[in-house]
Amino acid sequence: MSAVIPDYGTSADGHWAARIGDVAYLAAPCGSGFRLASGWRLRRPIDEWTEADVYGSEGVVPDEASFRAHVEDVALHLTQREALGRKEVRMHVSTPWGLSQGATVYAEGVVCHSTASHGGFKLDRARNAALHPALRLKGGWYEEDADWARVAVGYPTLFTDREQRSADRTLRDWEPDAWEAVHGRILSAEESFTRDRQRFERDHAADWVVISALRSERHPGFVEAIATMGGRREGGAQRSFLVPGDEYAAGRHGFVIDRSRYASIA
């Protein structure tokens, strides 16, 4: 299988751009760098593309080298995916998300179904039984948002390098217990969103943490922040605090009220 080679150029807007098969990328300037916007099947020459031709975002890069690195990684992913020989088929199968409208066979016993609303993997009995117990879900259905990572971690040779990295990150962030069981070590808070969240909750269990905020009409320039102890959303008392608008930011896990600086309001 021949490698997928990117075609680079400059858009009509003067932005870095690239074509990888049917996928188009354009680096649109934004406040923190360059937004990676993508398009599909842009047949015109690259120097005729504009920002209006692309949509969405795959993140932000700081410079042209990073833009090219992203494009090359996608090209490698497409090359590896072709080499894996996945097959698109039709199956009249009922899934937990509705009737299958299309399926991709990754290998015998490993099939990914798409439906009108969602999708995910179905592992047959043998494939499911062969998964590490910490990864295995009863019934063999693995939805596409997060549970797919269990399949990719369990059967890495069926996935591209890019997919494997994404699966590892997904499992680290959202299913750290499973990741730790598979790899035999404990994740630090810096390695996992969930572990970091748990540390935040321990550290601020006795603090008022905002659960809801809105721009104050009674106090222009301020935010009225509703907080609970530890940020718990069920049970317990709530209090409202006035926070200067230019100081309020939700943050990674929540905004902690500094009682010495922010006043409680009725």
Render pLDDT for 167-225 as a digit per residue (tens, 0 to 9).
999 999 999 999 999 999 999 999 999 999 999 999 999 999 999 999 999 999 999 99
**Portion of the chain with pLDDT greater than 70, in percent:** 99
The pLDDT, as a whole number, for residue 236 is 80
Residue 29 backbone zone (phi > 0: left; psi -120 to 50: alpha; other: beta) = beta
Give the H/E segment covering residue 25. strand 23-30
Residue 195 in any domain: the answer is: no
Q: Are 170 and 164 in contact (CB under 8 A)?
A: no
The pLDDT, as a whole number, for residue 31 is 85
- In the chain, the N- to C-terminal Cα span, in Å, equals 68
**20 and 60 part of one domain:** yes
Tokens representing residue 54 in the block: 């692309």
Distance CA 39, CA 114 (A): 22
Q: The pTM is what?
A: 0.88
Give mean pLDDT, residues 60-84: 96
Q: At what angle do helices 193-203 and 161-174 cross, to 10 degrees?
A: 20
> Nearest to residue 248, comparing CAs of 226, 229, 232?
226
Give the H/E segment covering residue 161. helix 161-174
DSSP calls for 222-262:
EEEEEEEETT-SSSS-EEEEEEETTT---TTT-PBP-TTTS
Residue 189 in any domain: the answer is: no
Distance CA 121, CA 259 (A): 49
The pLDDT, as a whole number, for residue 167 is 98
Res 1 pLDDT > 90: no
> How many domains in the chain?
3
Domain end point (choices 37, 53, 84): 84
Residue 199 in any domain: the answer is: no
Give mean pLDDT, residues 100-104: 96
Residue 197 in any domain: the answer is: no
Tokens representing residue 118 in the block: 């969602």
Residue 1 in any domain: the answer is: no
The amino acid that residue 174 corresponds to is: W
Residue 259 in any domain: the answer is: yes
**98 and 175 part of one domain:** yes
**102 and 175 part of one domain:** yes
Residue 18 in any domain: the answer is: yes
| Domain span holding position 259 | 204-265
Residue 260 CB-density burial (10 A; 0-12 exposed, 13-18 middle, 19+ buried)? exposed
Average pLDDT value over all residues in the chain = 95
Distance of CA 36 to the CA centre of its chain: 15
| Reported confidence tier of residue 2, pLDDT bands at 50, 70, 90 | confident
Domain end point (choices 84, 110, 141): 84
* 3-state SS class at 208: strand
Residue 191 in any domain: the answer is: no
Distance CA 261, CA 77 (A): 50
Paired residues of 28 in beta bridges: 35
* 3-state SS class at 237: coil
**152 and 208 part of one domain:** no
